[in-house]
Amino acid sequence: MSTVLTLLLLWIVVSAGLLTAMHGRLLRALWREPVLTRPVVIVESDDWGPGPAADAGILRAIAAILDAIRDRSGRPAVMTLGIVLGVPDGSAILAANGKIYVRRSLAEAEFAPIVAAIRDGCVKGVFALQRHGLEHFWPAALLARLAGDAALREWLADPSARSEALPAALQSRWVDSARLPSTPLAPPVIDAAVSEEAALFERIFGELPQVVVPNTFVWNDALERAWAAHGVRCVVTPGCRYEGRDAAGALGPPTRRTLNGERGVGGLRYVVRNDYFEPIRGHRAERVWQAIAARTAQGRPTLLETHRESFIAPPEPARTALIELERALRGAVARHPDLCFMRTAELVGHFDDAASPLRARALPIRLCAWLCRLQAEPRCARLLKATGLAWPLRSAGWLLGTLTRNGAMSPRLARLH
Ligand SMILES: [Zn+2]
């Protein structure tokens, strides 16, 4: 019997040693990542900016849905709006044969209904502004590609064309995609562009958001330095950073991983969008509920990425998007009565504050979340499966959950399993 126990112990020690040797840094990072005591849900949407007046009506319809869904503190559901301040004045640019860039911005009277809808939503607490670029492209790169690209000239000539229809490589604002593979922009040019965007943002909205969403998640240290110098405290990421486009225009390989609360240049904090809610791509409320259950078990907030594209779609899919948004959030509150709605900037405040009541400090709760995170990491999960270590880890989680259900630990722990 003692031989069996010894072998069992040896297997666990060797497997755990292998896991630590291969992924030690990741294991430590997952342990340091803040663990939340309550489910947090934020809908993160991008690409809002100049457009037809109908966009204002869509924004107001979204705001009405969010306002009617409250957490137990009475706070409404929040959708962050990644704002693009400007679009090209296509006819002026084409008239100048692409020699100069001319912008139309949200400051113009034509777009006042959109700005008013956004501001009203902010006052109600259902919208929160985030920076998403002065344009959704780098103007010099657009002009450089114009001469040899008939489709691009056609896009510019169409006053109803949206930035969503641009080639993917051009949508990465913070690199020069005039030629592929892309090249980095010079730091002084980046700094000037970030400064210009900040000034226009304040002029239009009377406030400067502290949260930025890099277009297509392509950015670098120079940009973080410029953002930090111009009031940004938080960068929203998809869990990694890309720094360029390859020869085919696709995203290059990630250059670093990012976890919630980790710091970048200038003390910026990263916040991770960890799931999607894109009704136009078929995502429905059920997917949101699964995401919230999984992220809550990991002690993480659920940040759902979505885009204007789903809501400005033709009438039928746009209506479906609104229906699913409401169903997803109402269902989330019903499934998690202690769920909190908040802005991403507030979430970052909790990451900054180790004493926040939203942060778990009890060891069993943090351990439970860490075990769930481990099993959700593809690299760790493969090794856990290969070594068979997944089984004792699951058992440890089950044991912690059982102790909780018996009242030996915080009742919060029960929901982590
Ligand atoms: Zn975007």
Question: In angstroms, rounded to a whole number, what is the distance separating the alpha carbons of residues 132 and 211?
Answer: 9
C-alpha of residue 236 to centroid of ligand 1, in Å: 12
Per the prediction, the chain carries an average pLDDT of 93
C-alpha of residue 132 to centroid of ligand 1, in Å: 7
C-alpha of residue 296 to centroid of ligand 1, in Å: 27
C-alpha of residue 21 to centroid of ligand 1, in Å: 38
For residue 379, the model assigns a pLDDT of 82
For residue 199, the model assigns a pLDDT of 98
C-alpha of residue 213 to centroid of ligand 1, in Å: 8
C-alpha of residue 91 to centroid of ligand 1, in Å: 23
C-alpha of residue 141 to centroid of ligand 1, in Å: 17
C-alpha of residue 277 to centroid of ligand 1, in Å: 14
C-alpha of residue 165 to centroid of ligand 1, in Å: 11
**Model confidence band, residue 410 (pLDDT cutoffs 50, 70, 90):** very low
C-alpha of residue 81 to centroid of ligand 1, in Å: 10
Decide if 306 contacts 44 (C-beta within 8 A). yes
C-alpha of residue 40 to centroid of ligand 1, in Å: 23
- Pairing type for strands 40-48 and 79-83 reads parallel
Beta bridge partners of 274: none
C-alpha of residue 216 to centroid of ligand 1, in Å: 6
Residues 260-304: tens digit of each pLDDT? 999 999 999 999 999 999 999 999 999 999 999 999 999 999 999
C-alpha of residue 360 to centroid of ligand 1, in Å: 33
C-alpha of residue 397 to centroid of ligand 1, in Å: 38
C-alpha of residue 307 to centroid of ligand 1, in Å: 7
Q: What is the mean pLDDT of residues 369-376?
A: 92
**Model confidence band, residue 381 (pLDDT cutoffs 50, 70, 90):** confident
C-alpha of residue 47 to centroid of ligand 1, in Å: 5
For Cα atoms 3, 19, 32, give the angle at the middle one, nearest 5 degrees. 125
C-alpha of residue 48 to centroid of ligand 1, in Å: 8
Decide if 404 contacts 411 (C-beta within 8 A). yes
Using N-to-C axis directions, what is the helix angle for 363-376 and 285-297, rounded to 10°? 130
C-alpha of residue 317 to centroid of ligand 1, in Å: 20
C-alpha of residue 84 to centroid of ligand 1, in Å: 8
For residue 402, the model assigns a pLDDT of 66
C-alpha of residue 23 to centroid of ligand 1, in Å: 33
C-alpha of residue 169 to centroid of ligand 1, in Å: 12
Let me know how long the chain is: 417
For residue 389, the model assigns a pLDDT of 82
**Model confidence band, residue 3 (pLDDT cutoffs 50, 70, 90):** confident
Question: In angstroms, rounded to a whole number, what is the distance separating the alpha carbons of residues 166 and 161?
Answer: 9
C-alpha of residue 135 to centroid of ligand 1, in Å: 10
C-alpha of residue 309 to centroid of ligand 1, in Å: 10
Residues 126-162: tens digit of each pLDDT? 999 999 999 999 999 999 999 889 999 999 999 888 9
C-alpha of residue 110 to centroid of ligand 1, in Å: 22
Residues 55-80: tens digit of each pLDDT? 999 999 999 999 999 999 999 999 99
C-alpha of residue 356 to centroid of ligand 1, in Å: 32
C-alpha of residue 182 to centroid of ligand 1, in Å: 18
Greatest Cα pair distance in the chain: 87
C-alpha of residue 56 to centroid of ligand 1, in Å: 18
For residue 406, the model assigns a pLDDT of 55
Q: What is the mean pLDDT of residues 305-314?
A: 96
For residue 337, the model assigns a pLDDT of 97
Token pair of 109 as six digits: 């009277």
Question: In angstroms, rounded to a whole number, what is the distance separating the alpha carbons of residues 86 and 369?
Answer: 42
C-alpha of residue 339 to centroid of ligand 1, in Å: 28
Question: In angstroms, rounded to a whole number, what is the distance separating the alpha carbons of residues 256 and 268?
Answer: 15
C-alpha of residue 215 to centroid of ligand 1, in Å: 5
Distance of CA 167 to the CA centre of its chain: 21
For residue 251, the model assigns a pLDDT of 98
